[in-house]
Amino acid sequence: MKDFVHCVPTRFVFGRGAELKAGEQIRDFGGTKALILYGGGSAVRSGLLERVQKALSDAGVEYVCLGGVQPNPRDTLVYRGIELARREGVDFILAVGGGSVIDTGKAVAHGVCYDGDFWDLWCGKAKSRAALPVGVVLTMSAAGSESSNSCVITREATKTKRGLRSELNRPRFAIMNPELPMTLPPYQIASGATDILAHIMERYFTCETEVDLTDRLCEGAMTAVIRAARIAVKHPDCYDAQAQLMWASTIAHNDTLGVGRVQDFGSHQIEHELSALYDVAHGAGLAVVFPAWMRYHMHRNVARFAQFAVRVYGCEMNFERPEETALRGIEAHEAFLREIGMPLTLKELGARSEDIPALAAGTKKTNPDGTTGGVFHMTAQDIEAILRLADR
Ligand code: NZQ
Ligand code: ZN
């Protein structure tokens, strides 16, 4: 196991009606005037926004609102948020939504405290030194942004989607009411579950040895997510399934399951190119990329891929030909994704074969040698080959 420092300062307020505590939470963290961010309308239609506004008023917290965050959130709304927050003198950001709203909130929080163009922080031109405090009322179980150190924004003009990792990105609190995702369409529930699994798998397929505890935690979490997702896509009003997914979304991406391990995140970088170019749901993009990534790399650590097959999908171990077992695990994962309604090919996603070279070339290079991925370092040629595997 590798050495690590792990700090998740986010306070979790979990359960039915938890959004009514939004005002007192902001007060607790010293906020007096909040910018409430929300998305394209679901929070208005469900009455959630109104309940949150009342909770703030009841706690004596002033607020201004900015709606209209789109999935795969754009820099354009971030600029508007920064301008509004400065003009109104807000001292707290409250994101009411999923990953896109939360990430917009985080970006506004950095931008308000930075003198230049906030995108400097995302493209590596400058380092963020401060951010306003952010709180979250979570409406879908997926990205894990409610306690992650990450924030992903798309530069609209160039369709460049980039993440910023910073401990300043961890929200002060996350309000998690499993009733809220019940209004999601099944496709979004499935995309969310796929993203949750991908966050665990990015950590699970490590080259690190002696990580039995985190292996077992990952396997347990994946098994629970698979079970809960099967139920939630058919019965979105099942509180228990939504509750499992909601907590899994959080632990999957705040590194509770990833400490002490070399992690990969190459599939995520490839997917960000897809969602930037075609504006597809992030989880659906991962459903296409991840199995192809697994097929491409499994021979480099057959034992681990076979372990995944046996412990997560209950495949029988073939001791003579462990690569057969590894392959059965990938097939089982694909069958699960198919069962919950996810796409498995670029075509189903609406992606074009002729874009593959540009997608591969545009994928963010995360290593000093110009490759991508923490465990299996990939050149643009490797990424192109992976996308070709998905081009069916
Ligand atoms: O905009 P509204 O009307 O609210 O509709 C949203 C949106 O269309 C809808 N929705 C959310 N909650 C709902 C609901 N509809 C009905 N009832 C509810 N309770 O769902 C749609 C998708 O929302 P979005 O926030 O985009 O989904 P998600 O949480 O999957 O976030 C995806 C974004 O997060 C990034 C992704 O790249 C993508 O941009 N990620 C952020 C990460 C992070 N910050 O740690 C990590 C992830 O790997 C990911 O990259
Ligand atoms: Zn993700």
The pair of structure tokens assigned to 366 is: 């995360």
Tens digits of per-residue pLDDT, 59-117? 999 999 999 999 999 999 999 999 999 999 999 999 999 999 999 999 999 999 999 99
Tens digits of per-residue pLDDT, 135-167? 999 999 999 999 999 999 999 999 999 999 999
- Does the CB atom of residue 253 touch ligand 1 within 6 A? yes
Local structure of residue 102 (DSSP, 8 states) = H
- Mention every residue, 6+ apart, whose C-beta is less than 8 A from residue 354: none
Give nearest CA residue, ligand 1 atom 49. 143
Q: Are 93 and 133 in contact (CB under 8 A)?
A: yes
Tens digits of per-residue pLDDT, 38-60? 999 999 999 999 999 999 999 99
Cα-based distances in Å from 181 to 97, 130, 142, 210, 319: 10, 32, 10, 37, 43
- Does the CB atom of residue 105 touch ligand 1 within 6 A? no
Q: Which atom of ligand 1 is nearest to the CA of 73?
A: 39
Q: Say what the pLDDT of residue 72 is.
A: 97
Q: Say what the pLDDT of residue 14 is.
A: 98
Q: Say what the pLDDT of residue 95 is.
A: 99
The pair of structure tokens assigned to 361 is: 């070339």
- Does the CB atom of residue 96 touch ligand 1 within 6 A? no
Please state, for a pLDDT cut of 90, what percent of the chain lies above it. Answer: 100
Q: Say what the pLDDT of residue 91 is.
A: 98
Tens digits of per-residue pLDDT, 213-256? 999 999 999 999 999 999 999 999 999 999 999 999 999 999 99
pTM over 0.95: yes
Around Cβ 84, how many Cβ atoms within 10 Å? 17
How many Cα atoms occupy the beta-carbon half-sphere of 316 within 13 Å? 2
Tens digits of per-residue pLDDT, 198-214? 999 999 999 999 999 99
171 band by pLDDT with thresholds 50, 70 and 90 = very high
Q: Say what the pLDDT of residue 243 is.
A: 99
- Does the CB atom of residue 95 touch ligand 1 within 6 A? no
**Mean pLDDT computed over every residue of the chain:** 98
Tens digits of per-residue pLDDT, 261-280? 999 999 999 999 999 999 99
Tell me which of 44, 102, 103, 153 to substitute to probe ligand 1's pocket, judged by most ligand atoms within 8 Å of the beta carbon: 103
Q: Which atom of ligand 1 is nearest to the CA of 45?
A: 3
Tens digits of per-residue pLDDT, 357-366? 999 999 999 9
Ordered by where they begin, the domains of the chain are 11-180 (3.40.50.1970), 184-390 (1.20.1090.10)
Which ligand sits nearest to residue 143's alpha carbon?
1
- The total number of residues shown for the chain amounts to 392
- Does the CB atom of residue 327 touch ligand 1 within 6 A? no
Tens digits of per-residue pLDDT, 282-305? 999 999 999 999 999 999 999 999
- Does the CB atom of residue 269 touch ligand 1 within 6 A? no
Residue position matching structure tokens 């910018």 = 35
Q: Say what the pLDDT of residue 164 is.
A: 97
Q: Say what the pLDDT of residue 245 is.
A: 98
- Mention every residue, 6+ apart, whose C-beta is less than 8 A from residue 335: none
Q: Say what the pLDDT of residue 289 is.
A: 98
End-to-end CA distance of the chain: 39
Dist. CA 357 → ligand 1 center (Å): 28
Q: Which atom of ligand 1 is nearest to the CA of 41?
A: 3
| Gap between the Cα atoms of 279 and 107, Å rounded | 19
Give nearest CA residue, ligand 1 atom 37. 282
Around Cβ 356, how many Cβ atoms within 10 Å? 19
Mean pLDDT of 333-357: 98
